[in-house]
Chain A
Amino acid sequence: MISEIDTYAGLSSPIHRWDPRLKVISILALIFSIMLLYDLKLVIASMLFAIILVYISRIPFSFIAGRLKWVFLFVLPFLIILPFTVIGEGVVIAHFGSITLNFRGIESVEFAVMIVIKALTSVMLIFPMIGTSRMDITIKALEDLHLPNKLVQMLAFTYRYIFVLSNEFMLMERSLTSRGFKRGSNLYTITTLSKAIATLFVMSYEQAERVFYAMRSKGYSGKVTTMHEFTLRPQDWLCTVVVCGFAIFIQVAVWYGTLEGT
């Protein structure tokens, strides 16, 4: 059984072999760099770079597309609303009483497209970042990067118990189905499932208490430390230079463009 988050962690690619600590830092730097961009051409270039990274990582595009679809649905309103709301002179399209609908021109469409591409690119980069190492290794990498211990513990416990809870919920659903429950678009379904989820919360609370007892029995006093060994090789630095180099390049390009503009 492989958890969905680790589905493609077992593949072999330069991204998979990249030291997880440098991978997390470099790709995060790239994501931040992309988020700071306000130039459509550079955003498109970044998206192409992200697609190349995904291609190298050998994670199937269909797998990523299936998840990006939800992100796209979330950012879709920007495409529709932004062209009518960005500040500036616009062409009046219609009047609804005291409300006027203005279209702000092709620049505002570009702006909306840029935001959507930025969002999709950032989410796309998450896949080579955490989908190419097993989650437990990524968690250890974060611990090694001195991420606050409380956050590391939260991530580790979420990863460990999400499967236990989803399994419990699956058992609960089976039990409901075996007693004639059918999902539908009605109040009964909502109340039944809410009760099941509420029970799951109570169960998880009780389990959390038992786990805490077990941790204290093993000498836990607030900090979780694990043993891990990461070794850096020249290839790791090469990948880091390429990805961080691109993150710096797009910022330099923006800076250079601003200079030329003045």
Chain B
Amino acid sequence: MPAITIQDLDYTFSDGTVALEHVSFEIEKGESVALIGPNGAGKSTLLLHLNGILHSSVSRESVRILNESVDPKKIHEMPKKIGIVFQNADDMLFMPLLGDDVAFGPINLGLDKEEVQRRVKDALEMVGLAGYEHRVPHHLSGGEKRRAALATVLSMEPEILAMDEPTANLDPKSRRELIEILRRFKEKGKTLLIITHDVNAIPELAERVIVLNKTVIADGPTCDIFSDTEMLVKIGLDVPVIMQIFEILQCFGYPCDVLPLSIEGAVRNLTETMESGAGHVHLHIHEHTHSGISSARSKYHVHAEKHE
């Protein structure tokens, strides 16, 4: 059953700027998808279409959530199906106390008091903020705010979770904690759509990547999308650092058909290579090594060089 279906969605801002053009894709229930694209590609605009906050008069019924088309007049019914976490946590935490913020959604869903309290407790526990009900949002740290914003959506127990830049501007510890929370959500079989520039986090969170630049440029399994480096670099995107390192290792003669995207992938790849090489990995410098390294590096730094 499809969780999100978008069919030929167009959206133009009131000033005439085209934000989305013929966007179409489908996400199955239980899938984890990363939506990537350069700044101004329409990612956040697309996100606001998923629960009907933004809607295009020319593309009525273009967006379907859990097989039902999104009706802008029934936005208040959407939180049960899809929870959206915005990029700026301060926009999500608008009540005097964190407990009120987490309870806001469930109260609007018309749940009884005991159920609201249970959901507040569970959601805060899920994001590692148990006992923070009486904390004032503006006293929380950046990482805590981001997790708190997630809790305000998790308390509505949505089937689909859509997040805008969940790991942006976080310190490494907070980033790791957030990735772990999202992984747990994914393991529960929920549908996850993550807008991100953090390409290093994608292999851990998403098995599929959609590249958006006003329209869908590419859509496929994570490793396939990242193997098309040329396309990604052309629209100003990057590939995971691990992948870049293994491409450099290839120039030193490291045998690797499919470049790993994450640390886990790298460990697996190294182990397999060493097992097949009698416990050793053979690297060497040959006549094409340096030219290979230069071409691999220039591939990723094409933008920087243009400006130099």
Contact = CB atoms under 8 A, between A and B. Distances in A.
Interface stretch (B24-32, B55-63, B83-91, B256-264): B83-91
A216 B53 contact: yes
A156 B95 CA distance: 7
A220 B51 CA distance: 13
A164 B139 CA distance: 11
22 contacts: A1-B139, A136-B100, A140-B96, A160-B138, A161-B94, A211-B94, A213-B53, A213-B86, A213-B91, A214-B91, A214-B92, A214-B94, A216-B51, A216-B76, A217-B75, A219-B76, A219-B78, A219-B156, A221-B108, A224-B104, A225-B107, A227-B99
B113 interface: yes
Contacts of A237: none
Given A3-B138, A217-B75, A217-B79, 14 more contacts: A135-B96, A156-B95, A207-B91, A213-B53, A214-B92, A216-B53, A217-B83, A218-B105, A219-B75, A219-B77, A219-B109, A227-B99, A227-B103, A227-B116
Contacts of B289: none
A43 interface: no
Nearest to A220: B108
A157 interface: yes
A210 interface: yes
A210 B51 CA distance: 14
Contact of A136 (B84, B96, B109, B153): B96
A38 interface: no
B153 to A, nearest CB: 7
B136 A136 contact: yes
Contact of B117 (A3, A218, A227): A227
A207 B95 CA distance: 15
Interface residues of A, number: 29
Interface of B: 48, 51, 53, 75-79, 83-84, 86, 88, 90-97, 99-100, 103-105, 107-109, 113, 116-117, 136-139, 152-153, 156
Which are the 7 A-B pairs with shortest beta-carbon distances?
A219-B108, A136-B96, A218-B105, A210-B91, A226-B100, A219-B79, A219-B76
Which of B76, B77, B96, B137 has the most chain A CB atoms closer than 10 A to its own CB?
B96
B97 A164 contact: no
A125 interface: no
A207 B79 contact: no
Contacts of B99: 227
A134 to B, nearest CB: 8
A139 interface: yes
B109 to A, nearest CB: 6
Which of A135, A156, A227 has the most chain B CB atoms closer than 10 A to its own CB?
A227
A214 B178 CA distance: 20
Nearest to B107: A225
A227 B94 contact: no
A215 interface: yes
A218 B156 contact: yes
Contact of B100 (A135, A207, A227): A227
B96 A139 contact: yes
A255 interface: no
Given A156-B95, A227-B116, A218 B90 contact: no
A220 to B, nearest CB: 6
Nearest to B53: A213
B113 A210 contact: no
A135 B138 CA distance: 13
A190 B202 CA distance: 49
Nearest to B136: A136
Nearest to A219: B108
A160 B95 CA distance: 7
Contacts of A226: 95-97, 100, 103, 107
B51 A160 contact: no
Given A227-B107, A227-B113, A227-B117, A217 B96 contact: no
Contacts of B93: 160
Nearest to B89: A214
Contacts of A219: 75-79, 104-105, 108-109, 156
A224 B105 CA distance: 10
Contacts of A140: 96
A262 B117 CA distance: 62
B117 to A, nearest CB: 7
A136 B97 CA distance: 7
Contacts of B107: 225-227
Interface string A179-194: 0000000000000000
B54 to A, nearest CB: 9
Interface in A147-198: 156-157, 159-161, 163-164
B152 A164 contact: no
A159 B96 contact: yes
A73 B48 CA distance: 51
Contacts of B117: 227
Contacts of B77: 219
Interface string A223-240: 011110000000000000
